[in-house]
């Protein structure tokens, strides 16, 4: 008695795998045992041919050269893009470092221990405080803005009996190397701007006429006491932070 007794239909389904040696060892024994007893299946097995996979056509030299050239071109573009991106990141890092140490950091020292006020959710911050009757204010420079920051000192209007009087104000521009002091004095409907040194001495402007410089000098002398008060308030608050 045969160990396996399977119908021919099942054996016929297994014959292609058997011919290609793609079946398990157990399936191979089943097929061979059946073929010993069944002549029809033996003939069918003999007639089954295993298809031979045709070799894929080899590319021509022109096609090969074209593919290699395309890969080289793509590689060059990738390297170029990578180089440009690296240079951009390096340049951005250098610019950020220069901006931070020459512009942002000096003003951040002035704003220390002052109340912060963020403006419109942007990178620009403003700080202020009151000190001995003076209002002090610091505007931080925006990102990568080298000359955007400034500090200001104003006398509180509560100190003046005339509400229509526009008292002088002082602006301070600071960097790692120097500090500039600007004074604004209003006369009627005109505001005169001028530079002074730490001792409140007038600094003539090369961009103004002699007549305008003389006018600014006269106004400074007329308001010297007030301007000296502004300078003292600035020095009391920021003197240790100014170059």
- Verify that 153 and 226 share a domain, yes or no: yes
Where is pLDDT greater, at 230 or 48? 230
Mean pLDDT of the chain: 84
- The share of the chain scoring above pLDDT 70, in percent, equals 84
HSE of 90, CA atoms in CB hemisphere, 13 A = 6
- Verify that 114 and 230 share a domain, yes or no: yes
Residue keyed to tokens 């959710």: 121
For the segment 97-119, the average pLDDT, to the nearest whole number, is 88
The pLDDT value recorded for residue 236 is 95
- Verify that 42 and 123 share a domain, yes or no: no
- Verify that 120 and 229 share a domain, yes or no: yes
Where is pLDDT greater, at 55 or 133? 133
- Verify that 126 and 16 share a domain, yes or no: no
Q: Is residue 63 part of a domain?
A: no
| Residue ranges in the chain assigned as alpha helix (H) | 8-19, 25-37, 39-47, 61-99, 105-110, 210-222, 224-238
pLDDT band at 1 (very low <50, low <70, confident <90, very high): very low
Q: Is residue 62 part of a domain?
A: no
**Would the pLDDT of 45 be above 70?**
yes
DSSP secondary structure letters along 52-120? PPPPPPPPPHHHHHHHHHHHHHHHHHHHHHHHHHHHHHHHHHHHHHHHIIIIIHHHHHHTTTSEEEE-T
pLDDT digits (tens, 9 = 90+) for 185-242: 998 889 999 999 999 999 999 999 999 999 999 999 999 999 999 999 999 999 999 8
**Would the pLDDT of 182 be above 80?**
yes
HSE of 7, CA atoms in CB hemisphere, 13 A = 2
Long-range contacts of 113-121 (CB under 8 A, 24+ apart): 114/138
Least confident of 12-26, 125-139, 213-227: 12-26
For the segment 39-48, the average pLDDT, to the nearest whole number, is 78
The pLDDT value recorded for residue 184 is 95
Q: Is residue 104 part of a domain?
A: no
- Verify that 129 and 222 share a domain, yes or no: yes
pLDDT digits (tens, 9 = 90+) for 83-97: 889 999 999 999 999
Q: Is residue 1 part of a domain?
A: no
- Verify that 226 and 126 share a domain, yes or no: yes
Q: Is residue 165 part of a domain?
A: yes
As for how many domains the chain has, the answer is 2
- Verify that 232 and 114 share a domain, yes or no: yes
Q: Is residue 72 part of a domain?
A: no
Q: Is residue 190 part of a domain?
A: yes
- Verify that 116 and 234 share a domain, yes or no: yes
The pLDDT value recorded for residue 28 is 83
Cβ atoms < 10 Å from Cβ of 34: 23
The parent domain of residue 167 ranges over: 110-241
């Amino acid at each position: 008695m045969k160990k396996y007794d399977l119908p021919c239909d099942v054996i016929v389904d297994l014959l292609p795998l058997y011919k290609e040696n793609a079946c398990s060892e157990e399936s191979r024994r089943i097929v061979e045992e059946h073929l010993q007893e069944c002549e029809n299946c033996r003939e069918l097995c003999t007639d089954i041919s295993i298809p031979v996979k045709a070799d894929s056509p080899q590319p021509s030299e022109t096609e090969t050269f074209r593919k290699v050239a395309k890969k080289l071109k793509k590689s060059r573009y990738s390297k170029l893009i990578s180089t440009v991106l690296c240079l951009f990141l390096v340049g951005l890092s250098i610019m950020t470092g220069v901006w931070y140490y020459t512009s942002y950091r000096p003003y951040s020292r002035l704003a220390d221990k002052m109340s912060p006020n963020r403006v419109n959710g942007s990178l620009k911050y403003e700080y202020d405080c009151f000190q001995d009757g003076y209002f002090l204010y610091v505007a931080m420079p925006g990102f990568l803005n080298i000359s955007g920051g400034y500090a200001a000192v104003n006398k509180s209007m509560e100190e003046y009996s005339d509400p229509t009087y526009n008292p002088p104000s002082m602006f301070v521009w600071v960097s790692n190397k120097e500090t500039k002091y600007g004074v604004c004095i209003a006369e009627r409907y005109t505001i005169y701007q001028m530079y002074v040194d730490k001792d409140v001495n007038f600094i003539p402007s090369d961009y103004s006429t002699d007549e305008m410089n003389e006018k600014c000098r006269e106004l400074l002398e007329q308001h010297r006491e007030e301007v000296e008060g502004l300078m003292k308030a600035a020095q009391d608050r920021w003197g240790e932070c100014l170059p």
